[in-house]
């Protein structure tokens, strides 16, 4: 079980990390397009930015 990062869209950390690595994503917008994470209330965007920093 991986922790949920985006509660609006129910996207977990593993899904985001996998998308970043497989598609070489570098921006929040690219993560939003690839996973839908961050496309609701926006509260998880700082977490997405952190995951991008950790995995790029």
Residues that bind ligand FES (CB under 6 A): 6-9, 37-44
C-alpha–C-alpha distance, residues 36 and 13, integer Å = 13
- In the complex with ligand FES, the residue whose CB is nearer, 26 or 41, is 41
- In the complex with ligand FES, the residue whose CB is nearer, 2 or 43, is 43
| 20-45 burial: b if 16+ Cβ within 10 Å, else e | beeeebeebeebbebbebbbeeeebb
In whole angstroms, the minimum distance from the beta carbon of 32 to ligand FES comes to: 9
- In the complex with ligand FES, the residue whose CB is nearer, 7 or 21, is 7
């Amino acid at each position: 079980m991986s922790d949920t990062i985006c509660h609006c869209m129910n996207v977990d950390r593993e899904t985001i990390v996998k998308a970043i690595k497989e598609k070489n994503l570098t921006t929040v917008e690219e993560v939003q397009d690839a996973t839908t994470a961050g496309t609701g209330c926006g509260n998880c965007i700082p977490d997405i930015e952190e995951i991008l920093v950790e995995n790029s």
